[in-house]
Structure 1
């Protein structure tokens, strides 16, 4: 088995008395499309933020390409490029699409503006939005805003290739989209996995069955802060795990406690 790009060992995280992650073990391998699923409130978004270095676990260890990470993302240098794609796109409303996608380069590189604009346009073409750099987020549909956030996540810095994204973490990338817009995003995620200039490794938090089926290869099922089941995406059709069966059937009957 290849060495994991990201490995969580016995990671726990609580907010007050609410234990969100309880000794979670999880790995992401190079070239993998991992789905992280489970009922609401079971720590799925929290685990992405822990992996991205935005939250520090209360206990446990996080390894990036075999090296122990200490502290948060700003405390680490040169270990692994991780980009988090937020559920609400997290675009700056007062900036244009060009300024949003190229934000880090405009702020933290010495590249001339015309070079950054060309790099931005290249990424916008990859997500199917050429010629939109002059627009503002308010002028875009929900699906277009999602695609702009993907373009920003895969932006590369020619001045420092070591910081280019090696892993994308998607938090509910199709939330709030209609079925057609969701399909566009799901296909785009897969396309970016295999295109030069995209990102070949990713993990997706999602509730949406179409996203699970179309955009993941392996699944980790979280429930009550623990990994309760994991397997290939096709295994969900044959598993005898009652919680996984209930989740995919949408039944109110089963081990998963339904919040009224």
Structure 2
């Protein structure tokens, strides 16, 4: 077996008395498109934040590209090639698109501004928004802001020799979008991996049925802090597991309370 890009070993996380992740084991391999699903409040976004280095697990180990993640980004840890796209895009309203996409490089790299701007323009081209670098977030639609956040997530520092390819984490990337805008984002998420090869794998947290079906080849279902099902997306919809059947049908009758 190849080495996983991401590996969680016995990861635990609680907030107060509430257990969110309960000894979670998970492996993600190169080329995988993984949908992380389950009822609200069951730890899906928490897994993304632990992988991204935004949260420190209470117990267990996290490995990225075979290297153990030590500390959080706030504590001085590095991204380790992991980019995250937040539900609300998380753009700075007072900065231009160029400054938002290139924020990390402008602040932390030694690249000249002209080179950063060229890299930003390249990523904007990839997400279908060329020529928008001088605009501000308030001038953009919700779908455009989502694509700007995608461009920021796939922008990496070419001077970092240990960058082994971006792993992208998406937290509800189509939430609040109309069906047409959702389809555009879903297609872009797939193309960044399968066509443009702008990332090496991704995990996507979503409740939206169309997003699950268009973007996920593998499904990880989380409930009560544990992975209850893990397998190919088509098999998830055909499964007789009561948790999955209730989740996909939206029934109020079943084990999900």
What is the TM-score normalised by the length of structure 2? 0.95
Q: Offset at 1:195? A: 4.0
Are 1:127 and 2:112 counterparts?
Answer: no
Post-superposition CA distance 1:106-146 (Å, at most 9, x none): 11223222222111111111101011111000010000000
Is the contact made by 1:173 and 1:206 (CA closer than 8 Å) also made in structure 2? yes
Are 1:191 and 2:191 counterparts?
Answer: yes
Residue in structure 2 matched with residue 182 of structure 1 by the alignment: 182
Residue in structure 2 matched with residue 18 of structure 1 by the alignment: 18
Residue pairs, 1:66-105, within 5 angstroms: 66-73=66-73, 74-76=75-77, 80-105=80-105
Residue pairs, 1:26-41, within 5 angstroms: 26-41=26-41
Residue in structure 2 matched with residue 238 of structure 1 by the alignment: 238
Is the contact made by 1:194 and 1:200 (CA closer than 8 Å) also made in structure 2? no
Are 1:154 and 2:154 counterparts?
Answer: yes
What are the ranges of 5 or more consecutive residues in structure 1 without an aligned counterpart? none
Quote the Cα distance in structure 1 between the aligned partners of 2:181 and 2:19: 35
Residue in structure 1 matched with residue 56 of structure 2 by the alignment: 56
Residue in structure 2 matched with residue 211 of structure 1 by the alignment: 211
**For 2:212, what is the secondary structure of its paired residue?**
helix
- After the TM superposition, list the runs of 4 or more consecutive aligned residues in structure 1 that deviate by more than 6 angstroms: none
Q: Offset at 1:38? A: 0.2
**For 1:193, what is the secondary structure of its paired residue?**
helix
Quote the Cα distance in structure 2 between the aligned partners of 1:135 and 1:236: 42
Quote the Cα distance in structure 1 between the aligned partners of 2:231 and 2:158: 37
Equivalent residues, number: 256
Is the contact made by 1:154 and 1:197 (CA closer than 8 Å) also made in structure 2? no
Residue in structure 1 matched with residue 106 of structure 2 by the alignment: 106
Quote the Cα distance in structure 1 between the aligned partners of 2:113 and 2:53: 30
What are the ranges of 5 or more consecutive residues in structure 2 without an aligned counterpart? none
**For 1:231, what is the secondary structure of its paired residue?**
strand
Q: Offset at 1:164? A: 6.5
